[in-house]
Each structure stands twice: as C-alpha cells, then as structure tokens.
Amino acid sequence: MIEASKEGIRGAFRAGMKCLAVTNPRPRELLSEATAVVKRLEDVELNLLQNMCPLDHRRSSKQEIAYTPPNAVLSRAHSASI
C-alpha cells in the first residue's frame, strides 16, 4: 500500500499490508510508522520494494497468481440473482 498519511499507514497495517509512505507534503517524522518512507515516488527503487515484500523463493517465477477482476465477481453474483 502506498500512503501519505498516518491514518492511511495505520489502516494498511490493520489490513495486514506493508506500507510505503511518501512524505510529500508531510514531514518524514509523521510517517515513521510505515514499512519504508520516501520523499517522492520517483525515489522508489526495485531493491526497496523487494526488501519490503520478498518473494517466496519456493514458488516458480513463471507461476501465475490467480486474479479475479472485481467485475467478474459482480457479474457472477448478478447472474445468480436473475
């Protein structure tokens, strides 16, 4: 999760997510609870993200992660009610 407020950071943690905070326009000190803090999104580098969210090395890099678009779930629910 990318956030720019203390409330957003806390919400990310309550949801079980890691949080990258962007200081603009807030001071770094107010966002220190985040997993990582950067001044601008342009400052984010791949190694920062990899350190924040390491991949499970037991999983093949070619293995696809299942994803169901929100509209597909809505469509199935809508079809069931007709």
Q: For the chain, what is the mean pLDDT?
A: 76
Report pLDDT for 35. Answer: 93
Long-range contacts of 32-41 (CB under 8 A, 24+ apart): 33/6, 33/9, 34/3, 34/9, 41/2
Q: How many CB atoms lie within 10 A of CB 44?
A: 15
Report pLDDT for 75. Answer: 43
Is pLDDT larger for residue 18 or for residue 58? 18
- Average pLDDT value for residue range 35-63: 77
For 2, list phi and psi in degrees, rounded to 5.
Answer: -110, 125
Report pLDDT for 56. Answer: 62
Please state the domain extents for the chain.
1-54
**Which amino acid is it at 79?**
S
Report pLDDT for 63. Answer: 45
